[in-house]
Amino acid sequence: MSTTYDIIESNIRKTIFLIVGFLILIIGLGWYISWWLGSPIILILAIIFSIAMSFLSFWESDKIIFSITGASEIDKKDLPFLYRIVENLSITSGLPMPKIYLINDQAPNAFATGRDPKHSAIAITSGLLEKLDKSEIEGVIAHEMSHIQNRDTLISTVVVVLVGFITILADWFLRIGFWRDDRDEGDGGNLRIILGILGFIFIILSPLVAKIIQFAVSRKREFLADGSAALMTRYPEGLARALEKISQDQTKSKYDTPSLAHLYIVSPFKGEGADKWLNKIFSTHPPIEERIKILRNMNL
């Protein structure tokens, strides 16, 4: 059976593999476009950008996320009720007190970020504070504290930046590919055609690859964080009710972008599209019903 330390080491390894894979993917895209357009400068730019984005994704991803969501940091005098909950759970879990951020969004939700417990933060929407009671909020905070403890936040925040960048870059490269001047074919025309087709397939599939990466690092960690939160609060029903309320609330989030979806405790996508079979296949979260059932079957 895996221990907390095994999980932490696994998440660190996954983050390293993710960043290395990102470097290889972007440099590969750069090489292809450089060859397609006959411009070596593109490969050089791809290498520079991939290294820069890898650095930003590790050291600055939390700041980027808070900038996207418009989150503002709060302290004890702003929301003493919330501050005390986080403080008590920090003591219970033995973790450093994370920074607390508030997102002005009526859709109830929350997420945690940070490369390690010493540089962690929890963000909560205003809707969550208004629509959940104390035990439910405590369950949500404990869930996010568990992500911090297990270093889930390390890989999940890195994914936000890298997935977003891969999608944008692939789209940009695909558009550039249509500008190539085909007047100078030279020798090996058939090989160039084959490589060209393969290259375009690679570029078109890059966003899908990014989505699969995002999907792969998300689902299992939610079950583990739910269980850890229940142990932390000794009251699994609080988190179970919170998951019910958050999932049933139909308020559309202002920040339901695909690159951020895997961060939240519950997927922010609401409405008709949320139930389509394709969305379920690529959902970054396991079924809410299954999570609630497991929590309510826990005997503490």
Task: Beginning with the edge strand found earlier in the chain, give each strand of the sheet holding 121-125 in spatial order.
Answer: 72-74, 99-103, 121-125, 110-113
Q: Of the residues 144, 185, 222, 272, which is catalytic?
A: 144
The string of pLDDT tens digits covering residues 268-293 is 876 544 555 445 555 667 889 999 99
**Confidence class for position 102, pLDDT limits 50, 70, 90:** very high
Tokens of 28: 């590969």
Residue range 64-153+218-296, CATH number:
3.30.2010.10
Using 50, 70 and 90 to split pLDDT, how confident is the model at 76? very high
DSSP character string of 179-209: T---S---S-HHHHHHHHHHHHHHHHHHHHH
- Dump pLDDT digits (tens) for 9-67: 776 777 777 778 777 877 887 787 777 777 788 788 878 877 887 777 778 778 888 98
Q: If you average pLDDT over residues 207-215, what whole number do you get?
A: 62
Please write down the HEC assignment for all residues of 44-89.
HHHHHHHHHHHHHHHHCHHHHHHHHHCCEEECCCCCHHHHHHHHHH
| Amino acid letter for position 10 | S
pLDDT of residue 278: 47
Query: Rg (Cα) of the chain, in Å, rounded?
Result: 21
DSSP symbol at 125 = E
Q: Assign 110 a pLDDT band (cuts: 50, 70, 90).
A: very high
- Read off the amino acid at residue 138: E
* Domain layout of the chain by residue ranges: 4-62+155-216, 64-153+218-296
Q: Looking at residue 174, what is its pLDDT?
A: 57
Place of tokens 């792969």: 216
Mean pLDDT of 153-175: 68
Is 3 a residue whose pLDDT tops 60?
no
Res 109 pLDDT > 90: yes
Lookup result for tokens 């450089």 = 34
- Asked if the model's pLDDT at residue 230 lies above 60, the reply is yes
What pLDDT score was predicted for residue 54? Answer: 76
Q: How confident is the model at residue 187 (pLDDT cuts 50, 70, 90)?
A: very low
Out of 10-19, 33-42, 202-211, 237-246, pick the least confident: 202-211
| pLDDT score at 6 | 66
Nearest to 193 by CA among 206, 180, 205, 204: 180
Cβ neighbors of 88 (< 8 A, separation 6 or more) are none
pLDDT confidence of residue 221:
82
Structure token digits, residue 110 = 């929350």
Active site residue 289: no
pLDDT for res 157? 73
Q: With bands split at pLDDT 50, 70 and 90, how would you rate the model's confidence at 249?
A: very high
CB–CB of 157/69 below 8 Å?
Answer: no
CB 108 within 8 A of CB 249: yes
Q: Is the pLDDT of residue 257 over 80?
A: no
What pLDDT score was predicted for residue 17? 77
Contact 189, 289 (CB under 8 A): no
Q: Are 93 and 51 in contact (CB under 8 A)?
A: no
User: Taking 60 as the threshold, does the pLDDT of residue 238 lie above it?
Assistant: yes
Q: In this predicted structure, what is the pLDDT of residue 183?
A: 47
Q: What is the C-alpha to C-alpha distance for residues 38 and 196, in angstroms, rounded to an integer?
A: 13
Amino acid sitting at position 213:
I
Residue 221 in tokens: 């960690």
Angle CA 64–67–73, to nearest 5: 110
Does the global pTM surpass 0.85?
no
Q: Is the CB of residue 101 less than 8 Å from the CB of residue 83?
A: no
Q: What is the mean pLDDT of residues 236-253?
A: 94
What are the tokens at 175? 């558009």
Q: Choose between 169 and 220: higher pLDDT.
A: 220
CA dihedral of 237, 281, 109, 95, whole degrees rounded to 10 = 70
